Amino acid sequence: MNTELTSPVDDYFRSHLPNQNDTGGRKWLYPRATSGRYTRWRNVVAWVLLAALFAGPFLWVDGHPLFLFNVLERRFIFFGVTFWPQDFYLVAIGLVTFVVFIALFTVVFGRVFCGWACPQTIFMEMVFRKIESWIEGDFRAKQRLDASPWTTEKILKKTTKHGVFLLISFIISNTFLAYLIGRDQLLAIILDNPANHLAGLTAMLAFTGVFYAVFAYLREIVCTTICPYGRLQSVLLDKSSLIVAYDYIRGEPRGKKLRTETEAPGIPLTPLPAPAPKGDCIDCKLCIHVCPTGIDIRNGTQMECINCTACMDVCDEVMVKVDRPLGLIRMDSQQGIETRQPFRFTTRILAYTGVLAVLIAVLAFMLLSRSALDVTVLRAPGQLFQREADGQIANLYSVEVINKTYRVLPIRFRLNNPDAKLRFVQPLTQTRPGELFKTMFFITLPEKAVHQTNTPLTLDVLSGNEVMDQIETNFLGPSN
């Protein structure tokens, strides 16, 4: 990560966290609210994502959920497609693909996911912080309230705020649980006798507590210290990655300028005499005041920056007021700032794109060629072969069948050896949706047809006339 700057700034920020005071304690941040084009777009994106998040567990298609991440039963449904423990290789490849996608996305766009799409930021900035502002007032009022003694008004405001925070945390916790255990089980926990669902209720309360602690107290610490993705930036970003960047070439040397109220309404006037000509940054520090992690982006790229673009909005407002071009803080690469060249695809980006394309192709092929029936046939342990009264040699096998679909599927087995016969211990003619069926069967061969101790056999698994799977196995016999 590059924090190089050409302007003279002190190095205090290198050794101190913005949310830490001089004695090492927590310094509470009071970010100022922003307006502007990026804030408006962030609001739109946030509300769309929130709607999708809360609707997700309740969207059902053909009587089945669209999403389910049931870790306990190891059953996952993604866009209506069910994945079983036997599909773990698909989940593993999917995760690797996702990690490469995140790496590519970060190499190109920096940490923009954190500021625009991460649930932590969306809930913090678009839900909890807004509710806090409605109850306690703007950033100055909040600061005053926290510093003031405990009056009836303060007790009322704090109680209301934390009550609402707990309620929203409870709603988030229920949604989270609905993704894990499914809509129906969640409703059962809510509507049934609590004594029958102690584990579910405990989980619900525990999640509520975690979400409340995150949004009421931890806040930016999650992004700056706990989340591992922020730490990945230092290895993923390079000079050509797009990031929220301060144009120090344009901005420095920073300093207040002499202007009339007409030229710069709302910006504090600087007393005479007029300073020497300076860069475009008027050192108003508004970009620091709006930052949810409390950093000064003018110090260069920092791990704490979540690319929320709030500083871009506020600085653009300042640039309008001082009649300078927009974009003193903008999405640009370090190279772009230094050379004024537009974004270019680097070899690294192309390499990541190539790997991602291959992974997506492999994943798509595996998903499309995935069988609806998963069948495992194993020779019964500890068994060799049996001689039957009619001169047949018999081998015993165990079979496990999983129906990965939502419909009843007929099933039958066909052996590729015309002399071989199948005899099930329990009949198996159909499998129910999502069912794991276990049984055993014998394969028999006339002794005269067994010419070796180990005869390879192929077993076709059919549903109707469609061959769903082909299983290779061995048939043990006497040595003739």
Give the whole-angstrom CA distance, residue 257 versus residue 299. Answer: 21
Nearer to ligand SF4, 200 or 292 (CB): 292
Selected from 282, 393, 399, 409, the binder of ligand SF4 by CB under 6 A is: 282
Stretch that binds ligand SF4, among 39-47, 264-272, 299-307, 424-432 (CB under 6 A): 299-307
**Are the beta carbons of 279 and 251 closer than 8 angstroms?**
yes
Report CA-CA distances (Å) from 65 to 55, 62, 80, 257, 436.
11, 8, 6, 61, 20
What's the closest the beta carbon of residue 223 comes to ligand SF4, in angstroms?
8
Beta bridge partners of 397: 379, 441
Does 311 participate in binding ligand SF4 (rule CB under 6 A)? yes
Nearer to ligand SF4, 178 or 328 (CB): 328
Does 108 participate in binding ligand SF4 (rule CB under 6 A)? no
Stretch that binds ligand SF4, among 71-79, 279-287, 395-403, 471-479 (CB under 6 A): 279-287
Does 39 participate in binding ligand SF4 (rule CB under 6 A)? no
Selected from 328, 375, 402, 450, the binder of ligand SF4 by CB under 6 A is: 328
Give the whole-angstrom CA distance, residue 136 versus residue 160. Answer: 10
**Are the beta carbons of 478 and 391 closer than 8 angstroms?**
no
Beta bridge partners of 332: 243
Does 281 participate in binding ligand SF4 (rule CB under 6 A)? yes
Nearer to ligand SF4, 87 or 280 (CB): 280
Report CA-CA distances (Å) from 415 to 10, 48, 82, 379.
80, 54, 30, 15
Does 355 participate in binding ligand SF4 (rule CB under 6 A)? no
With contacts defined by CB under 6 A, how many residues of the chain interact with ligand SF4?
31
Selected from 285, 340, 344, 438, the binder of ligand SF4 by CB under 6 A is: 285
Nearer to ligand SF4, 290 or 393 (CB): 290
Does 308 participate in binding ligand SF4 (rule CB under 6 A)? yes
Nearer to ligand SF4, 327 or 434 (CB): 327
Does 310 participate in binding ligand SF4 (rule CB under 6 A)? yes
Give the whole-angstrom CA distance, residue 458 versus residue 401. Answer: 17
For the window 203-242, what string marks contact with ligand SF4 as x by the rule CB under 6 A? Answer: ----------------------------------------
Does 46 participate in binding ligand SF4 (rule CB under 6 A)? no
Nearer to ligand SF4, 223 or 377 (CB): 223
Selected from 118, 186, 264, 318, the binder of ligand SF4 by CB under 6 A is: 318
The pair phi, psi for residue 73, each rounded to 5°, is -95, 5
What's the closest the beta carbon of residue 317 comes to ligand SF4, in angstroms?
8
> Please, which residues have CB within 8 angstroms of residue 156's CB and are 6 or more apart in sequence?
none
Does 307 participate in binding ligand SF4 (rule CB under 6 A)? yes
Q: Cβ–Cβ contacts within 10 Å for residue 101, how many?
A: 14
Selected from 295, 399, 401, 445, the binder of ligand SF4 by CB under 6 A is: 295
Does 330 participate in binding ligand SF4 (rule CB under 6 A)? no
What's the closest the beta carbon of residue 289 comes to ligand SF4, in angstroms?
9
Selected from 237, 290, 373, 396, the binder of ligand SF4 by CB under 6 A is: 290
What's the closest the beta carbon of residue 227 comes to ligand SF4, in angstroms?
13
For the window 111-150, what string marks contact with ligand SF4 as x by the rule CB under 6 A? Answer: ----x-----------------------------------
What's the closest the beta carbon of residue 205 comes to ligand SF4, in angstroms?
32
Give the whole-angstrom CA distance, residue 314 versus residue 238. Answer: 26
Summarize as ranges the residues that interact with ligand SF4 (CB under 6 A).
115, 244, 246, 251, 254, 281-287, 290-293, 295, 297-298, 305-311, 314-315, 318, 328-329
